[in-house]
Structure formats: C-alpha cells, structure tokens
Amino acid sequence: MPTTIDHAEPLEATAESLLGPLPANMEQLSQLLLAANAAGESGQTLADTKGLAAAELHGLYDIALSLCDQRQWSAALLIALQLAMHDPRNARFLFLAGMCLQHMQEFQAAASLFGLCLIDQEEPIYVFRMAECLAASGAFAPAREAFETCHELCRGRFELRDMQDACADALTLLTSH
C-alpha cells in the first residue's frame, strides 16, 4: 500500500513523477549513480540534465521530512538518496539521507554522507552526527577526532552549548576505547 500524507497523492508517485523510478535494488541504484556521475563530469547535476527546478526538489525534500516525522526511515531514505544524487552538493539532501541511515543503524554509510556534507561548509551538526556514527560503528579514534572538532566548532557559540556538552560527554565515554 503506498504511503500517503494528509490524503495527498501517493508519495512514491510524486517522487517518481519528478525523479524517475525509485531504485528497487542495488543494480538500479548503481545505474542512477552512474547517471549522476556522468552529469557531474559534464559540469551539471542530474537535476540540471533533467530540467528539474529547485522548488520541485525542495518539495520532495519536504515529503521526505514528513516521512521522517512518521518514522518511515526506509521510504524517506529512497527519496533522500534520489535527491542527493540529483544535487550531490546540497548538504540538506545529504544530511537527510544520513539521518535516515543513522536511524536504520547503517552507521558507516551515514557517517560517509555526513562527511560529504562537510565539503562546502563545516557545520557542527554535520561533524557531531558523523562522530556519533563513527563511534557506533566502532571507529573510536576517528570518532574522538570528530567529537573534538565539533567541540571546537561550538566554542563561543552559546546556542550550541548543549552540543558542546554532548561532545565533552562523548569524549569522556570514548577515553576507554
């Protein structure tokens, strides 16, 4: 049965009408990655080559967020991964896919996506989530380094005091590893 929100058209149909078929298996996902790579080599995003407007992508982002609110991580991930492949420099899309993977306990893949978010901007939340996933996957030394980086990024920013405290707590826990 298709997933819906507030009697809207099925989410799968909405995403597929803009992005094409959602990947059903790893072969289809790899084909989409190849298309995204080819578009990137020509200096465009896959969204550019398909003529997708930013508003269309952001509308799908909102749909994926709604699915996350409903804890439908797998359904949200399908859309988030498509969005990330269609606009691979958009940190919001990468972060959303990373969050879905983190909730699905796919920590190494999530850490990689959070790391990609850092290419254009070093936001503390990207580093923090990456550190959490690294620690959860048993990569303790890189996790410590990431928590230390996040702690420094939060320094002097009152609104990030809780995140800085969480980094300090995680560093204390990681001293035994």
pLDDT at 108 over 60: yes
Does 26 or 146 have the greater pLDDT score?
A: 146
Report how many helices (DSSP H) and strands (DSSP E) the chain contains, helices first: 10, 0
* Cα separation, 19 vs 13, whole angstroms: 10
pLDDT for the residue 34:
61
Give the C-alpha distances (Å, rounded to integers) separating 88 from 2, 65, 160: 27, 18, 27
Confidence of residue 26 (pLDDT cuts 50, 70, 90): low
Structure confidence by residue, pLDDT tens digits, 48-100: 777 777 888 889 999 999 999 999 999 999 899 889 888 888 899 999 999 99
Structure confidence by residue, pLDDT tens digits, 147-156: 999 999 999 9
Closest by CA to 147, choosing from 114, 101, 100, 106, is: 114
pLDDT for the residue 21:
59
Instruction: Print the SS3 string covering 83-121.
Output: HHHHCCCCHHHHHHHHHHHHHCCCHHHHHHHHHHHCCCC
Confidence of residue 158 (pLDDT cuts 50, 70, 90): very high
* Segment 21-28 mean pLDDT: 57
pLDDT averaged over every residue in the chain: 83
Does 53 or 39 have the greater pLDDT score?
A: 53
Q: What share of residues in the chain are helix, strand, coil (percent, to 5)?
A: 75, 0, 25
pLDDT for the residue 53:
79
Per the confidence metrics, is the pTM higher than 0.85?
Answer: no
Give the C-alpha distances (Å, rounded to integers) separating 25 from 13, 29, 30, 172: 18, 6, 9, 41
Confidence of residue 8 (pLDDT cuts 50, 70, 90): very low
Please tell me the least confidently modeled range out of 5-14, 69-78, 96-105, 160-169. 5-14
